[in-house]
Structure 1
Amino acid sequence: MEIRKSNAVKDRIQDLWKNYLLSTAAQDMLLGEVAEHLYVGNLDFKQMAARGDSYVSSAYVETGFADDIGELAYELCHGGEDMAPFSELSDSMTEEEIGDGLFHILVSHIKMYSASDILDNPYYRKVKVKRKTREGHITLTVNDYLPGELIQTYHDGFRKEDPFAYGDAGFFDSRVVFPVLLENGSVWMSVVLSEIESMKEPLEKAKGNVITYGLGLGYYTFMASEKEDVESVTVVELNPHMISLFKNQLLPQFPHQEKIHIVEGNALTYVKNQEDGAFDFGFSDFWGGLEDGLFLYLSFASRTARFRRTIHDYWIENAFIDAYFRPAVMKFLMKKGLGRNVILLDQGKKVRRICEQFIAFLDREPLSVDREEDIYRLLDTKTLVSLVRKFASENVESW
């Protein structure tokens, strides 16, 4: 890939680097508070809602994040090399400007939801967890969110004005109880807002004979089987305890269980021997999240690349793009366009190796960046999905 080093292109790359630093700092703080189960319970959410979504989000950030924003802005301005590369923001922004920037990014990525946004879902209306049940090391039970408890939601889509967004969050205005699967006492899967939002598009694409890899609580299986244009749903699941729990506790509540066929087996092995066109649509969802999912996603994408008649989708593919591959493009642009070898947010040795491989792949691609618009086209999710899938298919032995 060639980059034309015009002043306009170089200026845009530098602006994007500043945007990357500020956005990553804000969203790292956001997801850190999600992990810590930030709880803002001393606000009257229903009364606040009358003043508009923007007011609600601003009040929530002011109450829950004000101290953290002030502390981080101070550290970015005075922490020196210990805060690199984020301390570079202080070269062009004052401490107050950094704080304001962090505040506005957080406000734009936090939203209040009504309990009905999740409880009105067909799965919730028809499928109930009636009691705590255990099969082997897998437990089916329920959990809850308190009103004002910060949760991660699904970030969907690339926006030019906010190109490095990778984490959205929200909270409910009242208590929500949801089903959950525990593996050895730890949450493996739950039907929560992020799950519902992340499966919306793959469900819209499902038709004819569908295959899905990964069973969990059967949300995708249930919703796909509800569609009139879906004839069958084949589920490949490795864990026999998961299958037993599902068949005994959940499947009997599915209105269209006659469409559902469960195969016990390894998804990677199954798809390797799968005939192209045996199914109309496939959806893989057998990883828990970003950390354990990157290698499985790349492995599966490399194995499904040969399909021409079976359309395939991958759970949270956009999230892999947001978290790993778009930042890698930023690193590539800084090196190729400005001659700077920058440091990204540390994501571990294995992820770093994949990002370096992807950057080398980009350098070999017959593409060019001649104008500012070409940069945004390269960063766009649709472009990156295509590139990452090609990258995965060319490096099948690496996964």
Structure 2
Amino acid sequence: MQIKNSTALKERVLDLWKTYLLSVSAQDILLGEVSDHLYVGDVDFRSLAARGEKAPVSSYVDIGFSDDIGEMAYELAQGGEDMRPYSELSLFMKEEEIGDALYDYLSSHITMHKASDILDNPYYRQVKVRGKTREGHITLTVNDYLPGELIQTWHEGFQKEDPFAYGKAAFFDSRVVFPVLLENGGVWMSVVLSEIESMKEPLEKAKGKVITYGLGLGYYTFMASEKEDVESVTVVELNPHMIALFKKELLPQFPHKEKVHIVEGNALTYIMAQEDGAFDYGFSDFWGGLSDGLPLYLSFAKGCARFRHTAHDYWIENTFIDYYFRPAVMIFLMEKVLGRKERPLDQGKKASGILRKFISFLEKEPFTLEKEDDIYHLLDTKTLVRVVRKFAASCL
């Protein structure tokens, strides 16, 4: 990579660093409360909505996040070593300004939804889960969200005005019941808002002969089979209990079940033997989320790199880019443009090792960084997806 340093380039990188520190700090609060199942009850969100779209969200942030915002602003403003690098915000902003910025950030990354936003989905209208059914260590049942319970939603990717967002959240104005799969008693997957939103684009791309890796509750399989331009949907699933449960309880409710073909097998083994062009479109979804997904995503991207006639996409690929690789680019820029070695997010030993390799890989990529637009081009999701897939194919 060729970097033509200038005062303007240094100023832009420093400004992005400040934006990055604030964004991560705010999202740490946001996703922390999602993990803690924040519940703001006894509020009539429907009545608040009559006063304008922002009214229920403002009330939600006031009630649910005031203490978090105050505590985070205080800790960042103190500039303590244990809060580095995020406490560097104290070099740019006073405590009150940090608090206001955190409040504004949270307010713009939380939305309120009506129950119909999810219940009007074709899968919900057609596929019903009644009671509790078990096959081996897999259980099919239902769960619910209460009105005012905070949930994570899908972040669609890079925006120049909000470059480092990786988490958004929402709450419903009324109770929502949704299907869920439990593995050994813990939630493996559920058809919730983030699931529906994250599969919108891969479903739009599905056509002809489709193959998907990972069965779960069959949401992707159902929605793809509903498309007129989809001839068949082949599903590769490793877990025989999942397959048995799906065939018994869910598949009979599919209007186009004749299109669905299930193969019991290991996705990584299957992809290495798959003939290029045997399918028109492929979609991988056999990891649970960020914590277990990064190595699987990269391994599968390496396996798919040889395809020229089968387009292939990956569940939550945008999120891997948002959470892991764009911050790695920021660390790279801080060192190469400002001469400062910074540590990335604490993402675990395995992920940190992968990201160190990725940063070294970036140095050899044929990019020229000279002006502001060059930086934003490098940070853009489309660019990073292309670079990360190349990295997976050649370096792992």
State the TM bucket, normalised to the shorter chain. over 0.9
Which amino acid in structure 2 is aligned with residue 55 of structure 1?
A
Cα deviation, residue 42, structure 1? 2.4
Residues 81-101 of structure 1: per-residue CA shift (max 9 Å, x gap): 011111100011000000011
- Please name the residue that 1:192 is paired with: 192
- Please name the residue that 2:25 is paired with: 25
Q: Does the alignment pair 1:262 with 2:288?
A: no
TM-score, normalising length: structure 1? 0.98
Rounded to whole Å, the distance in 1 between the matches of 2:341 and 2:2 is 17
Which amino acid in structure 2 is aligned with residue 31 of structure 1?
L
- Please name the residue that 1:298 is paired with: 298
- Please name the residue that 2:226 is paired with: 226
- Please name the residue that 1:127 is paired with: 127
Residues 153-184 of structure 1: per-residue CA shift (max 9 Å, x gap): 00002111110000000000000000000000
Alignment of 1:149-168 (within 5 A): 149-168=149-168
- Please name the residue that 1:62 is paired with: 62
Cα deviation, residue 252, structure 1? 0.3
Which amino acid in structure 2 is aligned with residue 236 of structure 1?
V
Which amino acid in structure 2 is aligned with residue 329 of structure 1?
V
Cα deviation, residue 379, structure 1? 0.4
Gaps of 5+ in 1: none
Alignment of 1:194-343 (within 5 A): 194-343=194-343
- Please name the residue that 1:80 is paired with: 80
Rounded to whole Å, the distance in 1 between the matches of 2:338 and 2:51 is 46
Rounded to whole Å, the distance in 2 between the matches of 1:356 and 1:53 is 43
Which amino acid in structure 1 is aligned with residue 345 of structure 2?
L
State whether residues 211 and 283 of structure 2, in contact with CA within 8 Å, keep that contact through their aligned partners in structure 1. yes
State whether residues 191 and 219 of structure 2, in contact with CA within 8 Å, keep that contact through their aligned partners in structure 1. yes
Provide the alpha-carbon RMSD of the alignment. 0.7
- Please name the residue that 2:143 is paired with: 143
Residues 327-356 of structure 1: per-residue CA shift (max 9 Å, x gap): 000000000000000122211111111111
Cα deviation, residue 122, structure 1? 0.3
Rounded to whole Å, the distance in 2 between the matches of 1:49 and 1:143 is 26
> Match of 2:278, SS?
coil
Rounded to whole Å, the distance in 2 between the matches of 1:35 and 1:130 is 27
- Please name the residue that 1:378 is paired with: 378
- Please name the residue that 1:47 is paired with: 47
Residues 292-347 of structure 1: per-residue CA shift (max 9 Å, x gap): 00000000000001000000010000000000000000000000000000122211
Rounded to whole Å, the distance in 2 between the matches of 1:51 and 1:170 is 19
Identity of aligned residues (%): 74
TM-score, normalising length: structure 2? 0.99
Rounded to whole Å, the distance in 1 between the matches of 2:341 and 2:166 is 22
Cα deviation, residue 366, structure 1? 1.4
Gaps of 5+ in 2: none
Rounded to whole Å, the distance in 2 between the matches of 1:131 and 1:77 is 51
Rounded to whole Å, the distance in 1 between the matches of 2:134 and 2:76 is 48
Cα deviation, residue 52, structure 1? 2.1
Rounded to whole Å, the distance in 2 between the matches of 1:366 and 1:145 is 48
4+ long deviations beyond 3 Å: none
Rounded to whole Å, the distance in 2 between the matches of 1:155 and 1:58 is 20
Moved more, 247-256 or 43-52: 43-52
Rounded to whole Å, the distance in 2 between the matches of 1:195 and 1:24 is 23
Rounded to whole Å, the distance in 1 between the matches of 2:56 and 2:155 is 19
Residues 63-97 of structure 1: per-residue CA shift (max 9 Å, x gap): 10001100110011115101111110001100000
Q: Does the alignment pair 1:388 with 2:363?
A: no
Rounded to whole Å, the distance in 2 between the matches of 1:94 and 1:42 is 34
Cα deviation, residue 54, structure 1? 2.1
Residues 84-139 of structure 1: per-residue CA shift (max 9 Å, x gap): 11110001100000001111111111000000000000000000011200000000
Rounded to whole Å, the distance in 1 between the matches of 2:130 and 2:198 is 26
Rounded to whole Å, the distance in 2 between the matches of 1:60 and 1:377 is 35
Rounded to whole Å, the distance in 2 between the matches of 1:41 and 1:239 is 39
Moved more, 44-53 or 147-156: 44-53
- Please name the residue that 2:16 is paired with: 16
Rounded to whole Å, the distance in 1 between the matches of 2:281 and 2:193 is 24
Rounded to whole Å, the distance in 2 between the matches of 1:43 and 1:95 is 30
Cα deviation, residue 56, structure 1? 2.1
State whether residues 157 and 319 of structure 2, in contact with CA within 8 Å, keep that contact through their aligned partners in structure 1. no
Rounded to whole Å, the distance in 2 between the matches of 1:115 and 1:276 is 42
Aligned pairs, number: 396
Rounded to whole Å, the distance in 2 between the matches of 1:123 and 1:338 is 51
Moved more, 45-54 or 260-269: 45-54
Rounded to whole Å, the distance in 2 between the matches of 1:304 and 1:137 is 31
Cα deviation, residue 2, structure 1? 1.8
Which amino acid in structure 2 is aligned with residue 227 of structure 1?
K
Which amino acid in structure 2 is aligned with residue 28 of structure 1?
D
> Match of 1:262, SS?
strand
Rounded to whole Å, the distance in 1 between the matches of 2:353 and 2:51 is 48
Rounded to whole Å, the distance in 2 between the matches of 1:2 and 1:16 is 20
Rounded to whole Å, the distance in 2 between the matches of 1:104 and 1:159 is 17
Which amino acid in structure 2 is aligned with residue 58 of structure 1?
S
